[in-house]
Amino acid sequence: MFLKFLRLEIKSFFRGNSLGINLAMKIFRFLGIICFILYFIGGAFLAYFYINENMEQDPLKVVSRFIVIVWVADLILKYMMQQISSQNIKPFLTLNIPKRSLVNYTLVKTFLSPFSWLNSWFFITFSAILLFNGYSFVGVLAWFLGISSLLYLNNFINIFINGKEKVAVAVGVAIAVLSALEYYHVVSILDYSAKVFYSFYESPFFALIPIALFILLWQLCYRYILKEFYLDQGLELKKEIGKTENIAFLNKYGSLGTFINNDIKMLRRNKMTKSILFGSIMFTFYGLLMFTSPVYKTPYMMMFMGLFVTGGFQFLFGQRVPAFDSSYYPLMMTLNVPYKEYLKAKWWLMIIVTAVSMILALFYAFIGWEIYVTFFAAGLYNIGVNSQFTLWSGAYNKTQIDLNSKEKRMGQKNSFNLKALLLLIPKLLLPMAVFGITKYFYGMTAAVISIAILGMIGFFLREKIFDIIVKQYKREKYSTIEAFKNKD
């Protein structure tokens, strides 16, 4: 049955009306996977020989010490990027096919994703190196099976917390608390990690615990999906009673106020936009990375962090214009919509949130005024320059967005565009170069002033730049409509 399902998916791929683009994206994806496999294999060799020769410690103990970090990072990555696809399963529910087979196939498909098995190349290679250097075969095998079972558990945990924002937030808070306890040396999580995971090698029977948990969670996840596996229940799009909301004072700004009003409602109501708001808040704390490495304290990287601390929302929101309106964009283009006012509404919303982010970033002043001044300068650049270039890059984003679900897919055929990548130069590289070079030769004051001047120039030239942006959106209009109409 599983082979039949796979053959049907292969036929669906080759019969699609976008075969050429799909095939090109598959080739790029394949090349990317090969690169990551080589990175993981090389990382295994580097980890063993570096620890063995430079640190003069047992490589297995040192790697076991950091397994807990790998496990948490793997869980976060899968939560953000991986989700169960039910679209290809729905047609089979009306056929005479056992539902249990469909559920098992759905679970197995999660393990076929590269997010599930790429990290296994590190552990396979590392285990082979351990065996070659005289480690116990039974111990290494038990260690490998125990670690692999633990990492594959994340597939099931992701299914349970996927779509449950409160549970995901609770798990995130728990991870943050444990990280803080480790950082401030209250509880040594890494020491416990070393003891627990090294015990899989010393006492192989301990490896049976994660294997048993894997089997248990498979059964629980199977029952959980089976219970919801109906077209009119678990797989149906959730519907809510519509609510009429209106921010009255925006109405006096005409069509501009109407568009802003609609965007605020969209941000408040939908899962996808709520996740963007949450991600914007998380970006505010991005500057705390400077405590992890001296590299982040260089002027270039401080400016880089500042751009994301103050501009997280505009990077997440602006480059998805008009993809947020993809469900009704073709209809909207048949109406007499003032395109410049439509884009300006998005721009003003980004400006307001960026200004709020600059205020929220004030807590960095307690760490050092130089840091906050750098972030403040980055905020000015985001307001004057990046807000417009980010909006400009949105013209090339033709990826449909379902506002009722979280977007976790990468490498989509319409999301890659060389022109959008070129716009990263004025958005990121230019302010980093100007700030770093000016600070090196003339000091902090001159560096901040130089970035502020660039921001002011961009702000005062916004009408001219907007005319260019509007022309570009109109130039991409019909290809965008075609992409949004194509549901394949």
How confident is the chain (488 residues) per 10-residue block, as mean pLDDT? 66 56 66 86 90 86 91 82 61 73 81 84 94 93 94 87 72 80 81 91 92 92 79 50 50 69 77 77 78 69 87 83 78 75 86 89 84 89 88 79 56 47 74 88 89 89 87 83 71
DSSP state of 236: S
Separation between Cα atoms, residue 162 and residue 156, nearest integer Å: 10
State the DSSP H helix or E strand holding residue 382, giving kind and residue range, or none if neither.
Answer: none
Residue 130, pLDDT score: 94
Structure tokens given for 396: 């090339």
Q: Which of 314, 450, 451 is nearest to 388 (CA)?
A: 314
Give me the amino acid identity at 296. Answer: Y
State the DSSP H helix or E strand holding residue 298, giving kind and residue range, or none if neither.
Answer: none
Chain centroid to Cα 162, Å, comes to 14
- Give 458: exposed, middle or buried? Use CB within 10 Å, 0-12, 13-18, 19+: buried
Contacts of 319 (CB under 8 A, 6+ apart): 390, 393, 394, 397, 420
**CB contact at 8 A, 305 and 296:** yes
CB atoms within 10 A of CB 352: 14
DSSP state of 235: T
Separation between Cα atoms, residue 118 and residue 139, nearest integer Å: 23
Separation between Cα atoms, residue 314 and residue 306, nearest integer Å: 13
**Whole-structure pTM over 0.75, yes or no?**
no
Residue 414, pLDDT score: 42
**CB contact at 8 A, 197 and 146:** yes
Angle between helices 165-183 and 189-202 (to 10 degrees): 100
- What separation, in Å, do the N-terminal and C-terminal C-alpha atoms of the chain show? 25
Separation between Cα atoms, residue 189 and residue 479, nearest integer Å: 52
Q: Which of 140, 142, 145, 123 is nearest to 205 (CA)?
A: 142
